[in-house]
Amino acid sequence: MTAGVPARLASIRDRIDRACARAGRQPDEITLIGAAKRQPAERIRAAAEAGLVDFGENLVQEAEAHHGLLAGRDLRWHLIGPLQSNKARRAAGLFDWIHSVDRLKIARALDREAKGVDRSIFGLIEVNLGAEPSKHGFAPEELTAAADELLGLGSLEIVGLMAIPPQSTDETEVRRWFRHLRELRDGFFPASPKRKGLLSMGMSADFEIAIEEGATHVRVGTDLFGLRQPRP
């Protein structure tokens, strides 16, 4: 499986290129994040050696291990899983991007902790599009009320929205959810500068559709690394 990671990475990049061509976009508009949750260390190293720069982590403790594994490389680290407020300090020292700013409490904690270590972190607001009890995030109708505080933070710079829509095998339904997040983005970041209004959406099963619907960041795990290791 490790030997296949470079080929998988090349294939995914080709799929990104083709999705961009269909949408009239440029491939350099898309950031591919390798979702490293429960992946063996050798696969992650193989991806970095093949040129992948952006890695996504679900757990702070797993990220700490992977940081050590890839120390000395010029990589960007993204938290793509939920964060407990008691781990905000560790997260502020580890990650360059937080895609899972799912409530004001965690936004405030990350901003405070990032300031304490003299760092700036990019943040994306997680939106629970389908109001699913099993998922985290702001309800769409909560965004307006939270906007002033979120956009006024100093060391945590809010630059976009993120979502994991309800699962569906119906492409029309998948597109509908992605379009909904894009519309929310347009309302949250009206006339935004290019570096804001980003959209983190799309995973292994649907990242090409997400790109066609405006994604700037796609989070790909299984298609890049293979199946996850079982839980311990």
pTM more than 0.75: yes
Computed on alpha carbons and rounded to an integer, the radius of gyration of the chain in Å comes to: 17
The architecture in CATH of the region 2-225 reads: Alpha-Beta Barrel (3.20)
Q: What percent of the chain has pLDDT over 70?
A: 95
Tokens matching residue 54: 């952006």
Contact 201, 181 (CB under 8 A): yes
pLDDT tens per residue across span 141-186: 999 999 999 999 999 999 999 999 999 999 999 999 999 999 999 9
Residue 210 has pLDDT above 80, yes or no: yes
Sign of CA dihedral 6, 11, 12, 13: positive
Residue with tokens 């904690």: 109
Contact 57, 63 (CB under 8 A): yes
Q: Is 118 left (phi over 0), alpha (psi -120 to 50) or beta?
A: left
Tokens matching residue 37: 């949750």
Report residue 69's pLDDT band, with 50, 70 and 90 as the boundaries: confident
pLDDT of residue 195: 66
Domain locations in the chain as residue ranges = 2-225
Q: Could you give the angle at the alpha carbon of 169 between the alpha carbons of 11 and 138, nearest 5°?
A: 95
**Integer angstrom CA distances of residue 139 from 93, 102, 152, 184, 197:** 28, 9, 20, 11, 18
Residue 227 has pLDDT above 80, yes or no: no
Q: What average pLDDT is seen over the chain? A: 93
DSSP 32-77: EEEE-TT--HHHHHHHHHTT--EEEES-HHHHHHHHHHTTTS--EE
Report residue 81's pLDDT band, with 50, 70 and 90 as the boundaries: very high
Mean pLDDT of 58-86: 92
Determine the Cα–Cα distance for residues 25 and 18; give it in Å rounded to an integer: 10
Between strands 97-101 and 76-79, the pairing is: parallel
- What contacts 103, CB < 8 A, 6 or more positions away? 136, 138
SS3 percent helix, strand, coil of the chain, rounded to 5, is 45, 15, 35
Determine the Cα–Cα distance for residues 160 and 215; give it in Å rounded to an integer: 11
